[in-house]
Amino acid sequence: MNFYKTNFRGDPVKKTCKDDQSLRVQPNSMFFSPHPGQKINDLIAKALDLISNLYIHSSSDEEMKIFCQQSYAALNHYQFKLEQGTLQKNEIERLIDFVKTLEHLDEGLEPSTVERMSSS
């Protein structure tokens, strides 16, 4: 039995450097920049949090509840398209605008939630 004599190990690797460019850290390396879809994923997660907050604070407003449910469905659609790799640039721009709108709506809720908490 020749277990110790195997051909798995090849010639020793020559450690050479052709130019200084190969020594520099590439900013597009997977260790230094997030996955391209990660920023969009974070944006969708932020939108879902904002919608959840809006839904909780507008329990008596039927129109706002319907808006939140439709928004949640649209975000699920964006998430699906992102996973499939078919999300278009104009859809990303619409998503960014939508998150900004949600932030403004959420900021508008803050004083009323403070009033509710202080009155109880």
Task: Measure the CA–CA gap between 105 and 62, rounded to whole angstroms.
Answer: 16
pLDDT grade for 96, boundaries at 50, 70 and 90:
very high
Whether this prediction's pTM lies above 0.85 is answered by no
Residue 42 near residue 4, CB atoms below 8 Å:
no
Q: Is residue 16 in a domain?
A: no
Write out the residue range of the structural domain in which residue 114 sits: 34-119
> What is the number of structural domains in the chain?
1
Q: What is residue 62's predicted lDDT score, i.e. its pLDDT?
A: 87
Q: What is residue 28's predicted lDDT score, i.e. its pLDDT?
A: 47
- Burial class (CB within 10 angstroms; exposed 0-12, middle 13-18, buried 19+) of 112: exposed
Residue 50 near residue 106, CB atoms below 8 Å:
yes
Q: Is residue 61 in a domain?
A: yes
Q: Is residue 21 in a domain?
A: no
Residue 48 near residue 75, CB atoms below 8 Å:
yes
